[in-house]
Every structure is written in structure tokens, then in C-alpha cells.
Amino acid sequence: MPRKILHLDLDAFFCAVEELRDASLRGKPFAVGGRPETRGVVSSCSYAARSFGVRSAMPMSRALRLCPGLIVISQHWSNYGEMSDKVMERLRSLAPLVEQVSIDEAFVDISDMCRPASGAAATPETIARNLQSEIRTDLGLPCSIGIASNKLVAKIATEVGKKSGKQGEPPNAITLVPAGEEAAFLDPLPADMLWGVGPKTAARLAELGIHTIGGIARWPADDLFQRFGENGRELSRRARGLDDRPVVTEHAVKSISQEVTFARDISNDRALEGSLRDLAAQVGRRLRRVDLAGATVKIKIRWPDFTTLTRQVTLTQPTDQDEEIAVTAFDLLAKVRPKGKAVRLIGVGVTGLGAPVRQLELWGEDAEKARRLQATLDALHERFGDKAIRRGKPHK
């Protein structure tokens, strides 16, 4: 029996939550995100704003030029998290196999619900319609749903449904792709709707005269492999609607990172080091909260012309300590940035996560003292806030 996979995407989720907070926003053009004077970007925008051409990830300053009457709302992350949890609880009460892929998106395997056991089984459309109605009625949130025999096609079905909605209103779409019709459904869609086709790949496909997913499916798979490597082989499979990935209830954390975009470009060395130190401390606290350590420290830096670089180094031992992360980040910054060069964005992250190594013989007495100091700082931060106490100048 083919699987039945449901993909749910909350429509303009942040905006929908803001409308629950303030009903006067309904029907008005507004955007959730950062302020234009601080180089903020649009995180989400209402459907009324979208009719003016405003889109997510757009600089807020440009959004205001497109829609001079646009209302700008700051993010209320705690509210978004709370509403997201409520939606995910509904999904988990519906079926045991739920894979949350973002704050407003999830896959649900409803195969067992569609198999006859005693009496008539529920149809996927009925399950989707009931779920959509329940989330709208009980939580006040609109959502769109795609249903197919696999995750790939279910996700694209949701995207197709959302594009077919009435302008200025949440789509509230439900799109079903029957088993056996996956390739036919994908055939006329733009090539860049397929997972793995980013702007560069789309441009290379266009040079070959390939503009649709069906065009990828009909192109010789061996030639795609020669041109694109393993991604070409996967593109050929996906374009034919093939995807055997299961719905996974948990994902291992692969990296932890923090970054900041400055309101004005920063060229002062001490100011940049201070920002790196703050970011390293945030990363360290997140590591310790989940009892993980990182083997590789990386930095991300963006110049005023938007050129973005990343650099990384692997440590001799995994760490969850702010100071070690910070000092490593300082060294990486010094190697990539000419002294005095202005910076637009900077970030710090760790990868290669695993359990911390705490044996005294490996860490040494000094390292153990540093760990005890870190634990004391964590306790102070938890009690009095992140700015209650800070480390001094880094050791060089």
C-alpha cells in the first residue's frame, strides 16, 4: 500500500499570530520583522501586504517603499513558539509519526488512518479537511495542506496550493496528489520548485533548455550525473516523484550558531571582538543547556558589499566553553579580515556536536577550574540575566 503523507504549512504564521494579539491588524498591510533603520528584513508579511509586492526576506526599507502605509511589527518569539507547540500537539494527537521541520511546518504519516481495520477508513481529504478546520476554529490559525505518497511531493503540493489562493487572503488550500500520479503532477511545474534546484542549478538547467520539473525527468540521468555529480542523480529521481524518506520524529542537532547584523557597518576592532565574545557566550550557553560540545568552531563574516565568507577550524578536543570558542573565533577573524575593514554581519557557530569530554586527566587542572568558573557564570546569568556579568579582555 502506498504511504499517505500529509504536509502542513501554517499560512503567514507570524502574521496570523499577530492578528490574534491585535485584531485591528486584520485586512491591513503589515510585516513582522526588524526595523528599517537597523537594516531589518521581513520575516513574514500579511496577505494584504503581499498584494503590494512585499515578500519574506526582503529588506524592510524596500518593503516600505513598495507599500508606504506598511505597518511594521516587531517579532514576539515567545508567542510564536507557544502557538507552534499547540499546533504540533494537535498533529501528534492525530498520528504518532510527526516530523516538525520548522516552527510552522510539519509532515505527518497518516497511512494507518487510511487503511481499513474495522469499518470504512477515513480518506486523506477528510483527515486534512477536519484538521484544517480544527486548527482554524480552535487556534485561529489558517493553514495549507498537501497530501501525497511521499514527503517530496506532499511538500510541493502544499506550495502549489498556496500559490493558487485568492490574492490578499490566506490560501487555506488542500492539494491531493493520488498515488501513481506524482510525475504527472510535477511535470509542468517550474524547475526551481524541486528540492535541490537553487538559483545556480536553475541557471545551468536553463542553459540546457530545461525549465520544468518534467524537463529534468526526461533528461538522461547519466548526463545529469556527469554535469551535477550526485545531486544530478538525485534530481533525476526527484523529478520523477520518487522519494523513500520516512517521516522522522526526531532530528539530531548538527550545529549551533548565533549571528548579528549591525545597524551600521562596524570597523572598530574592539567593537567587533566584543560582538564575537557575546556571540560565543550565547553559543556556549546553548551547548551546555543541551549537554553538547562542538569539535569545530566557525565564523561567518559579511562585508558592506554583501560578500559573505566563512572560516572554520577543528579543535583538538570538543568544547562547550565560551572562552575557547571566543579565542578561536578571534583567531579566525584575524586571518580573514584586514585590520580596520568594515563589517556588516558577523556570526559564530560550532559543528561536530557530541557529548562533552570531562575527564580531569584530559582537561587538566586549569581547564577544570575554567569549567567551574563557567558554571558559576551560567548560574549568575540564569538568575540576573545575560548582561549581569561579562568576561574581561580575551587571552591572546
Ramachandran assignment for 308, one of left (phi > 0), alpha (psi -120 to 50 degrees), beta (any other):
beta
CATH topology of domain 5-10+93-183: Alpha-Beta Plaits (3.30.70)
Set of cell numbers at residue 39 = 537594516
- Residue 295 CA to its chain's centroid (Å): 23
pTM of the model: 0.74
Q: How far is the C-alpha of 136 from the C-alpha of 83, rounded, in Å?
A: 12
d(CA 259, CA 141): 30
User: What residues does each domain of the chain span?
Assistant: 5-10+93-183, 13-77, 187-239, 255-384
Cβ burial of 283 (10 Å; 0-12, 13-18, 19+) is buried
pLDDT of residue 373: 58
Positions annotated as catalytic residues are 105
Q: What is the CATH number of domain 13-77?
A: 3.40.1170.60
R_g over Cα of the chain: 24
pLDDT digits (tens, 9 = 90+) for 237-286: 999 999 999 999 877 778 899 998 888 899 999 999 999 999 999 999 99
Give residue-wise pLDDT tens across range 359-390.
Answer: 444 445 555 555 565 556 555 555 555 555 55
* Architecture field, domain 187-239: Orthogonal Bundle (1.10)
pLDDT, tens digit (0-9, with 9 covering 90-100), for 144-166:
999 999 999 999 999 999 998 78
Q: How many other CB atoms are there within 10 angstroms of residue 337's CB atom? A: 20
Say yes or no: do domains 13-77 and 187-239 share a fold. Answer: no
**Fold type of domain 255-384:** Dna Ligase; domain 1 (3.30.1490)
